[in-house]
Amino acid sequence: MYYLSTRGNKEKVTASQAIINGLSADGGLYVPSKFPDLREEIKNLYTLDYCNLAFYILNKFLVDFSEDELKSCINMAYDNKFDSTEITPLKKINNNYFLELYHGPTLAFKDIALTLLPHLLNTSIKKNNIDKNILILTATSGDTGKAALEGFKNIDSIKIAVFFPEYGVSPIQKLQMKTQDGSNVFVAGIKGNFDDAQSSVKEIFSDNDYNKILNKKGFMLSSANSINIGRLLPQIVYYFYSYFNLVNNKEITLFDKVNFVVPTGNFGDILAGYYAKEMGLPINKLICASNENNVLYDFFKTGEYNINRDLKLTTSPSMDILISSNLERLLFEISNRDCDIINKLMYDLNNKGYYKISNNMKDNLDTFIGYYATDDNVAETINHVFKKYNYLIDTHTAVAYYCLEKYKNKTQDRSKSIILSTASPYKFSKDVLVSLGYISDNLDDFEIINKLSLITNTNVPSPISSLKNKSIFHENLYESFELKSALKNYLGI
Ligand SMILES: *Cc1c(COP(=O)(O)O)cnc(C)c1O
């Protein structure tokens, strides 16, 4: 098992090198040389607890990690930072299954990978005798930033810089980042949207001159975004884990097929589901749930990916994205790993803002189906699910729920479906409160949170209630073209 680039520069790297580099030098994304086949082994796996299952799966991919190294990383990640011993509990509500991925320290699904990645990276640095300081460069649509900051804070020889769109994240997400402590963290808002932030960060990665300067001064870039394969692989685990949960609870029989509904932005989470399917997990459909930034919905329908449209700010800000980076990894698979095709498509995307895939490639997309929800659909869904089932969901999860209902109405498919619940409703408390029919005018963020708690009789998660007493450490605001100089200032070079 080794890792290669989707854009095909013949480079073969180990897992630890792929994790350190983040992005391949040719601008492509690292992918595993093949998918481990678990079809024969699945029947031995369904009783494993989360950590053991994570070890079993990741050990197939991270082959240059020793078993002890990997176990130690996993045990450091999935401990009492999570407020559920199951790490990713599955809740049955009426006839739906919600996979709650928000029980980690920052209350979004990003924690599953970002509690582990720092340990994987630290081990990789030692393994490869890297003598430079690593600078983790991260663009965030709201949740990655905080999860990465918590994961990487105060780790020796690593620094982390996070850029978020000043007007594109929820008030709580912003507060979480601005109050971040740690001796090695840099946090800044940028004037622009997430695509601007992500493009600026990617541009820094591919700026050779800038990287040479950094190297001379003893720094080297890496990424905590889902372009890093070390972010993606840990997300495969909960697809298996939740499937096995259904088996253990006799909701399905082993080898029955299920659907997963995934609220999608950068296409990282749902791609991990595709990888799980390639490994033999019995998946019927992966339902790609978008908000009104529905590029992916159009793509699955027509085979054309077109970003020539305005990015909308919605109530599900972590999905306010037009350029879904990880789609490149899917294109690689559905083109039967043809790098020439990928280079051509990515060239078109950069230069014309769109590309169209061939019919052959489109035929390989039949695992996927896309739907989308408007902000109104989201509000009605939150209201409906709470009133009917007394279960509170966040705006992103509501996008998924709505899309699943649509899928069920439009098809005869009655397979069981698992909804990926990607964030705590308290991260988006204002929109959730308003969805429930209350007025939030004149209330500050914490009054909104308390009101939500009172009305719904649910507890405010402690990472949110504790924000109230924290000081603001970061007030930086930059134009996206100022990032390079801002970073140099921060590093003192
Ligand atoms: C990041 C995020 C998503 C989208 O995940 P991708 O891997 O970017 O597709 C959905 N919901 C929430 C709450 C998120 O933070």
Q: Is 273 close to ligand 1, i.e. is its CB under 6 Å away?
A: no
Residue 300: CA count within 13 A, CB half-sphere: 20
The Cα–Cα gap between 313 and 335 comes to 33
Pairing of strands 476-479, 185-191: parallel
pLDDT-derived band at 439, boundaries 50, 70, 90: confident
Judge whether residue 199 has pLDDT over 90: no
**CA nearest ligand 1 atom 14, residue:** 318
Count of residues in the chain: 493
Q: DSSP label at 177?
A: H
The set of residues, in sequence order, having a beta carbon less than 8 Å from that of 252 and lying 6+ positions away, is 246, 258, 416
* 110 part of the active site: yes
Rounded to the nearest 10 degrees, what angle do helices 339-352 and 327-334 cross at? Answer: 140
Predicted pLDDT at 157 = 86
Residue that is written with structure tokens 């799966």 in the block: 57
pTM: 0.96
Judge whether residue 429 has pLDDT over 90: yes
- Average pLDDT, rounded, for the chain: 95
In a mutational test of the pocket of ligand 1, which residue from 177, 266, 324 has the highest number of ligand atoms less than 8 Å from its CB? 266
143 CA closest ligand 1 atom index? 15
Q: Of 202, 218, 470, which Cα lies nearest the Cα of 328?
A: 202
CA–CA distance from 194 to each of 162, 190, 322, 351 (Å)?
12, 9, 9, 19
- Cα angle, residue 185 at apex, residues 182 and 188 outer, rounded to 5°: 130
Q: What is the mean pLDDT of residues 262-279?
A: 98
Q: Is 426 close to ligand 1, i.e. is its CB under 6 Å away?
A: no
Out of 43-47, 64-68, 221-225, 293-297, which region has the weakest mean confidence (pLDDT)?
Answer: 221-225
The Cα–Cα gap between 490 and 160 comes to 11
**CA nearest ligand 1 atom 1, residue:** 318
- Cα angle, residue 79 at apex, residues 391 and 251 outer, rounded to 5°: 45
Judge whether residue 198 has pLDDT over 90: no
The Cα–Cα gap between 106 and 45 comes to 29
Name the catalytic one among 71, 91, 110, 427: 110
The Cα–Cα gap between 300 and 305 comes to 9
Q: What is the whole-number distance in angstroms between the Cα of residue 492 and the centre of ligand 1?
A: 33
The Cα–Cα gap between 365 and 149 comes to 35
The set of residues, in sequence order, having a beta carbon less than 8 Å from that of 371 and lying 6+ positions away, is 287, 288, 289, 290, 297, 402, 403, 406, 407
The alpha carbon of residue 11 and the mean position of all alpha carbons in its chain are separated, in whole angstroms, by 26
Task: Decide: 318 and 268 in contact? Cβ < 8 Å.
Answer: no
The Cα–Cα gap between 482 and 38 comes to 47
Overall fold of domain 90-108+230-428: Rossmann fold (3.40.50)
Task: Decide: 80 and 103 in contact? Cβ < 8 Å.
Answer: no
Give the CA dihedral 12, 18, 23, 24, nearest 10 degrees: -10
Q: What is the maximum alpha-carbon separation in the chain?
A: 61
Structure tokens that stand for 85 in this block: 């011993």
Q: Of 456, 454, 385, 464, which Cα lies nearest the Cα of 424?
A: 464
pLDDT tens-digit readout, 397-417: 999 999 999 999 999 898 999
Q: Is 143 close to ligand 1, i.e. is its CB under 6 Å away?
A: yes
Judge whether residue 452 has pLDDT over 80: yes
The Cα–Cα gap between 190 and 396 comes to 23
In a mutational test of the pocket of ligand 1, which residue from 143, 326, 368, 378 has the highest number of ligand atoms less than 8 Å from its CB? 143
268 CA closest ligand 1 atom index? 7
Judge whether residue 9 has pLDDT over 80: no
Q: What does the DSSP assignment read for 50-68?
A: HHHHHHHHHHHH-TTS-HH
Determine how many CB atoms are found less than 10 A away from the CB of residue 475: 9
3-state class (DSSP) for residue 157: coil
The Cα–Cα gap between 265 and 318 comes to 7
